[in-house]
Structure 1
């Protein structure tokens, strides 16, 4: 069974410096503009037989603006950041520098009281591995950049620390193809 899953990072809801943990804000004006600008390029995603998105407002809005009408998948939600939810990394670092350092170094830690990075990667990977499809099925999943990073770490069987070295920009795509437990990454080229 060969599947192809294109991961699309949701359009932005704030500047990168103002990004907040587990943010539920809708698309901002710049995000809407970007979706409209790249819509024709991402139009090929409409050929996907299965279309999913994370439950965040900006992921749903990105999919809807592209005409994809994606199905919300709770497993594609952002990492549960516990008491850090809604705060920026800078805000948390100013108050809890040792906790942030521990969180960045140990993927099993959850000093924020939420979900450890390793559990987050595993949750997203389990979703990827359990997609119902026939051979050759194409899928698209619109999610927060953090979810795309988690999926890529899982698909490549990379060490969890790799998560911090993957830069996922709004409206960027990456495609993984293969089957549960045996994924390959395809960069660039067509989104189909």
Structure 2
């Protein structure tokens, strides 16, 4: 039995340097523009039997703009960043350098009072493993880039610090095939989707 899960990183809601932890902003003008450009490639993914999204405004807007009518999944929420929520990476690094360093080095650390990286990876991994296991089911999920990275770490059984080495640019896609505890990465087959 094999399920195919395609993850799409949500379009952007702010310029890269202005991104904030656990951001809850809607798509910005550049994000809407990027969705329109990517639509011809991404819209066909909406033929999936199940369509989900992170509950964030930008994930919902991305999925809706692509015509997916996605169901918001709380388990696909971005990492809970506790008191760092709404702050930029630069602000946290400058204001709390030791806590910031601890967070980057130790996946069990949660100096911000929210979720540790390990807990976040486990949460989104549980969501992945509990998807319907009917053979051939196709699932598409629009999620925050952090969620896409966490799902990949979980599915590929790599060390948690691998999370920091994965780039999930806005509107990028990745497909996993398999089922609970046995996922494999599927590379894009170009126009033969």
TM range (shorter): over 0.9
Within the alignment, does 1:90 sit opposite 2:72 as a pair?
no
Question: Which ranges in structure 2 are unaligned for 5 or more consecutive residues?
Answer: none
Cα RMSD (Å) of the superposition? 1.0
Q: 1:91-134: per-residue Cα shift (whole Å, max 9, x none)?
A: 00110001000000000000000000000000000000001241
Give distance in 1, aligned partners of 2:36 and 2:70: 17
> 1:190: how far off?
4.5
Runs of 4+ in 1 over 6 A off after TM superposition: none
> 1:158: how far off?
0.5
Bigger Cα displacement from structure 2, 35-44 vs 122-131: 35-44
Give distance in 2, aligned partners of 1:190 and 1:147: 24
Give distance in 2, aligned partners of 1:166 and 1:115: 19
Bigger Cα displacement from structure 2, 57-66 vs 179-188: 179-188
Number of equivalent positions: 192
Give distance in 2, aligned partners of 1:134 and 1:188: 22
Q: Which residue of 1 aligns with 2:43?
A: 43
Question: Which ranges in structure 1 are unaligned for 5 or more consecutive residues?
Answer: none
**Structure-1-length-normalised TM-score:** 0.98
**Structure-2-length-normalised TM-score:** 0.97
Bigger Cα displacement from structure 2, 121-130 vs 38-47: 38-47
